[in-house]
Amino acid sequence: MKELTKAEEEIMQLLWQLNEANVATLIEEMPEPKPAYNTVSTIVRILENKNFVGYRKQGRGHIYYPLIEKDSYSKFSMTKLLNNYFDGSVKSMLSFFVKKNDLSVRELEEVLSEINKKEK
């Protein structure tokens, strides 16, 4: 799987949320200042070339939809983060986030509860 740029990921986040959209709808959903139509259209075409987005014709335009599931890309991104910054150690990554995010005891217990559920 290829890595996405920040702009590409922003478009994918919208497509994952909307399930499908044309360029005008994507722009409507974006925060101010809104990018130019041609900019978003170009990013969508790049996502097509990377096989992240498919389309179907509708009238004179296209309706775009994700080909890659959000969970698949999340797993890819987290694995890359884990390997590049924490030498593949989940323990190191969790320790980092616990320290940097100042998690409460309750939040830590919730994390442990989720881990225990997975082990069963």
Domain residue extents for the chain: 6-66, 70-119
Count Cβ atoms below 10 Å from residue 53 Cβ, excluding itself.
23
Query: Does this model's pTM top 0.75?
Result: yes
- Using CA atoms, how far apart are residues 36 and 27, in angstroms rounded to an integer? 8
User: Which architecture characterizes domain 6-66 according to CATH?
Assistant: Orthogonal Bundle (1.10)
* pLDDT value for 120: 63
* pLDDT value for 100: 85
Alpha helices per DSSP H over 1-120: 6-18, 23-29, 37-49, 70-86, 90-101, 105-119
Amino acid 57 reads K
* pLDDT value for 109: 85
* pLDDT value for 111: 81
- Using CA atoms, how far apart are residues 84 and 12, in angstroms rounded to an integer? 23
* pLDDT value for 70: 97
Residues of the chain with pLDDT under 70: 119-120
